[in-house]
Chains A and B, each alone.
Chain A
Amino acid sequence: MNHCEDIAVAKIAETAGLLAGNGYRLVQLSCVKGGEGRLDLIYSFDRNYELSSYKLSVAPGETVASVTASYPGAYLYENEIGELFGITFDGLSVDFKGTLYDSLVRTPFNLPPAAPQTVGGAQGASNPSGADQ
């Protein structure tokens, strides 16, 4: 990806503040699975049609600082990513507390690996009471 810089997770709030001060607008914030269980956050900013993107690699369970102090509209992206991928954003200005997508399955875009099937496991699941059919 053109003009994409890797930055540390701890630097995002400061970077966002600097960019906002220099007149950049937030274009998008996306999350994609990285390697080894990590998640990549890609922030893109624009000024005068020049796009600058920053990529953070977030470890499982790691908290990311919210950029809503600099970009108030970012709360929607951060709530979405929180619900779909399970990343916690610290300092969210508006927290929907899991009701934005209201999904039956938690973090549907970042599901844990499927549990290995055991012999008779399927039968047990369809006949939980153990009663004979």
Chain B
Amino acid sequence: MLKETTIPFGPQHPVLPEPIHVDLVVEDEKVVDATPAIGYIHRGLELLVEKKEYQEFVFVAERICGICSFIHGMGYCQGVEELMGIEVPERAQYLRTLWSELSRIHSHLLWLGLAADAFGFENLFMQAWRVRELILDIVEETTGGRVIFGSSKIGGVRRDIDADTLARIGGVLEGLRREIKQVTNVFLGDSTVSTRLRGIGVLSKEDAYLLGAVGPMLRASGHEIDTRKIGYAAYKNVDFDVITATEGDSYARCKVRIGEITQSFDIIRQIIDKMPGGPVEVKVTGSPPVGDALVRLEQPRGEVVYYVKSNGTKFLDRFRVRTPTFANVPSMVKIMKGASVADIPTIILTIDPCISCNER
């Protein structure tokens, strides 16, 4: 009988971008069981909703995570707006969608770089993050911030983008599309990348559904489910296909994310072309009524759920975030079992974990 050893993977590990902790039970080089441990960077952000006025809490929600920042702020705002019955101006909806897609592109490029770094392709890591910087330049120009956009508010957005800037952004993004394609072609075509990713961490279609996987993790296993199809913000006015793959392995998850980068460019093109005029905010006064609301958005990592509960005062009772990483952990544990220890970093990275969100 082989001897079992428990190896703590994380929270500090050279390949991990964030402190995820998993105890791996291994027999020789094979993982037979994995136990996640959550909370290393818990900051108590949800409880702060009881201490900060509801309009002020947007700034806290945006700081749940640096990569998913904008969509957290937007999701919180949407939850409160649903509670209060606020109708956000159409232009603000379009701007929110534009920034959401820019967020998605920069998040996927960040992930691409980290994945390349994980299997030692440092040049690809550098190129992916170099192109990402150009996206962040657009974000900084339009919002004032590279990481924390600070553009969401209850009732709309804080900043507008004039027509000239929008047109210029469209041109810049078309140029970037070609640059990103050069990077992603290496990712998809290089034999060393392929060897490290194909057949690794296979998640079956059935398991992906039953274990509650979301986002690229779910779509790479063949499910055509994308929360943007609900039609929140301006997504109801744009055409896009759900990017899927069927193999369910790490390569398939990469392929889905790369496909979504290209798709986000197309969505932004449509947003710029269809951008309506009008105000970007409505005045919000008073306190939310007693009640609760639940909204869903599509983060780069998958479906995120925001629950807000009000007691009728300006301080909310509860703010709960079900992050996509939390939903993907059972699937991650499943695909770790039977994998080689050397493949664990790749497997963890292909679920694109965001521990800041998960452990807020």
Contact = CB atoms under 8 A, between A and B. Distances in A.
A33 B305 contact: no
B276 interface: no
Contacts of B291: 1
B303 A27 contact: yes
A74 B318 contact: no
A100 B37 contact: yes
B86 interface: no
B355 to A, nearest CB: 13
A17 B209 CA distance: 15
Interface in B290-337: 291-294, 296, 303, 305, 307, 309, 317-318, 320, 322, 326-327, 329-331
Chain A interface, DSSP helix/strand/loop, else mixed: mixed
A26 B212 CA distance: 6
A42 B294 contact: yes
A73 B305 contact: no
B307 A102 contact: no
A32 B318 CA distance: 7
Contacts of B192: none
B173 interface: no
B322 A102 contact: no
Given A73-B331, A76-B330, A51 B296 contact: yes
Interface residues of A, number: 28
In which size bucket is the chain B interface?
20 to 34
Interface string A50-76: 010100000000000000000111111
Contacts of A101: 37-39, 42
A17 B36 CA distance: 27
A117 interface: no
Contacts, number: 72
B354 to A, nearest CB: 16
B36 A33 contact: no
Given A1-B293, A32-B309, A103-B39, A71 B212 contact: yes
Contacts of A72: 210-211, 330
Contact of A32 (B37, B210, B230, B320): B320
A69 B208 CA distance: 16
A33 B50 CA distance: 13
Contacts of A71: 210, 212
B31 to A, nearest CB: 16
A44 interface: yes
A38 interface: no
Nearest to B328: A73
Question: Residue among B227, B309, B331 with the most chain A CB within 10 A?
Answer: B309
B146 interface: no
A76 B230 CA distance: 26
B35 A99 contact: yes
B305 A44 contact: yes
Interface of A: 1-2, 4, 25-28, 30, 32-33, 42, 44, 49, 51, 53, 71-76, 80, 96, 99-103
